[in-house]
Each structure stands twice: as structure tokens, then as C-alpha cells.
Amino acid sequence: LGRVVDFSAELSSTNDRAKELARQGALHGLTVLASRQQAGRGRLQRQWESPAGGLWMSVVLRPNLSLADASKITLAASVAIVDTLQELFELSIGIKWPNDLIYKGQKLAGILGEVVGEWNTVQTLILGIGVNGNFPREQLNNTFPATTLQEILGFDIDLNLLAAKILENLERELIFLEEKKFDEMRSKWTKRAIGLGEGVRIFRGEDVIEGVFKGISIDGALILETGNEEVTFSAGEIKLRSK
Ligand code: BTN
């Protein structure tokens, strides 16, 4: 991953640029980077603030996996980022299902996976990764609590090194998934999961479902225990909140 890089000073969204390049035939691993995004996107149609100094990156993935594996790939990306921040800066990052990377209750990074075309025919996933890097949190007008590496570490980091390490770790996790070794990734993910074994609320449209967060299923869905049954939810349209 990341052997070919498409870099721009400014883009609307690196995911959109990566999609365009994928439609033009970009190969597995092509990585799009931008210093700033004017219209960065988050999950659930939210906007993602992307000032200069952050890592705004999208990878074209054409893995040997099926559509059902798309959410596993985004979970693997969370693990890759968590491992990277541990290795480079000894930071302990938690994961809020499915892919919010949290430091002391504040969001540090997020992941947006988008399938291009018919997965069954072209098998392309655009994996967007955003890490709040070298800027103060005041530059974010988010409604949710957020932090940045600059705030946490007190110095500016090398964004190229960060990107390279994340891609290296992601490449390893993807190979595990292709070899059907889901459990190794799942156990790493689970060790960092926020709220595991605790009461949570799931918001799906107008519905609110309460239960105990039991873990993630073999296909990467969230397992919720309600009463005496277990229900699973895929990442698509839900929000998770601690009670
Ligand atoms: C989220 O937590 O809601 C996901 C945030 C994903 C942000 C990244 S930044 C690079 C890529 N381009 C985008 O427009 N979004 C993703």
C-alpha cells in the first residue's frame, strides 16, 4: 500500500479523488493525500473538519475479499492506526465502535470506508483515514469533543512517517483478513473497545435500542445483548452511545 501516492495541497475530499482514480483503473494500494480538505466527509453524512496539519488520506483497496468483508476492513484500519500510535508515540488509543479513535474521551481520528460500484464485480473499497495531527483543537468547530496529536504530545509529528506506518500496519492486517485470520484482528480490536460489557444505546433512525455491548461478530457487526437475546447491527446506519 502507498507505493503510488497522489498528493494535492487541497482537495474537496481525498475519498472523492480516490474514487475518481479508482474508476480510471487505479491499482490496489494507490494512496491519495491532501494537506487540506474543503469538504471532508465523516460517517453518517457528517462533515469532517480538515485543516492543514492533519493526515487526510484515502487508499484504493482491491482486496481478495467480498462485500461482506468491507466492515472488517474498516475495523482492521482502526487496529492499524491504534498500533501505529502505540508504536510511534506510546499512546493508548481506545476504539469506539465501529471506527472512532478516542483519546481520553476525545476523538482523535476516524475512518470512512466507501464501496465503489458493484463490489461483486470490481471489488473496490475506498478507505478514508483522518487523523487530527499538527494543529490545535480550536481549529475544529466540531459538536463532539475532539483532540489532536499536537495537543496530546506537545510537538508536531512527521505526517509522512505517520502515513507510512499506518499503511504498513494496514497491509499486514489486510493479509490476515485475506488469509481468513479474522480472530487475531478481532481480539486486538476488542482489547481496545470502549464500553465492552457495558450498557449502551444504539440509535437507528427514530429507534433507540438498549442493551449490553458484547463484542463484534464474525462478520464485523456489533453484538448487543437485549434481555436474553443477542442482536447484531452492522455499521451502516447506527450510532452508539454509552449509557
Ligand atoms: C468519521 O469518523 O466520521 C470518519 C472520518 C473520516 C475522515 C477522512 S479524512 C480522509 C478521508 N476523506 C474524507 O472526506 N473523509 C475521510
Q: Whose CA is nearest to atom 2 of ligand 1?
A: 110
For ligand 1, atom 16, the nearest C-alpha belongs to 128
**31 Cβ contact partners less than 8 Å away, ≥ 6 residues apart:** 1, 2, 4, 5, 6, 57, 58, 59, 60, 163, 167
Note the CATH number of domain 5-192.
3.30.930.10
Grid cell digits, residue 131: 487523523
The backbone region for 195, taken as left when phi is positive above 0, alpha when psi lies in -120 to 50, beta otherwise, is left
In this prediction the pTM is 0.94
pLDDT at 230: 94
Mean pLDDT over 48-52 rounds to: 97
Is 13 known to sit in a ligand binding site?
yes
Ligand 1 binding pocket mutation candidate from 15, 140, 143 (most atoms within 8 A of CB): 15
In the chain, where the domains are located = 5-192, 199-242
Q: Residue 168 burial (CB < 10 Å; 0-12/13-18/19+)?
A: middle
pLDDT attached to residue 242: 76
Per-residue pLDDT tens over the stretch 180-194:
889 999 999 999 999
What value does the CA radius of gyration of the chain take, rounded to a whole number of Å? Answer: 17
CA distance 60 to 28: 6
Alpha helices per DSSP H over 12-103: 14-23, 70-89
Test site for ligand 1: of 11, 17, 56, most ligand atoms within 8 A of the Cβ: 56
CA distance 22 to 80: 23
CA of 112 to the centre of ligand 1 (A): 5
Q: What pLDDT score does 122 carry?
A: 55
- Is 220 flagged in the annotation as binding? no
End-to-end CA distance of the chain: 39
113 alpha carbon – ligand 1 mean position (Å): 8
Which residues are near ligand 1 (CB < 6 Å)? 13-15, 37, 40-43, 46, 48, 50, 56-58, 100, 110-112, 128-130
What does CATH list as the number for 199-242?
A: 2.30.30.100
> pLDDT for 123-133, tens place per residue?
899 999 999 99
Q: What are the tens digits of pLDDT across the range 66-111? A: 877 888 999 999 999 999 999 999 999 999 998 999 999 999 999 9
Average pLDDT of the chain is 92
State the pLDDT confidence band at 119, using cuts at 50, 70 and 90.
low
pLDDT value of position 121: 56
**Ligand 1: which of 17, 93, 129, 167 to mutate, judged by most atoms within 8 Å of the beta carbon?**
129
Residue nearest to atom 7 of ligand 1 (CA): 130
What is the CA(155)–ligand 1 centre distance, in A? 23
Element (H, E) at 63: none
Consult the annotation and say whether 43 binds a ligand: yes
Taking only the tens place, the pLDDT of each residue in 164-220 is 999 999 999 999 999 988 999 999 999 999 999 999 998 888 889 999 999 999 888
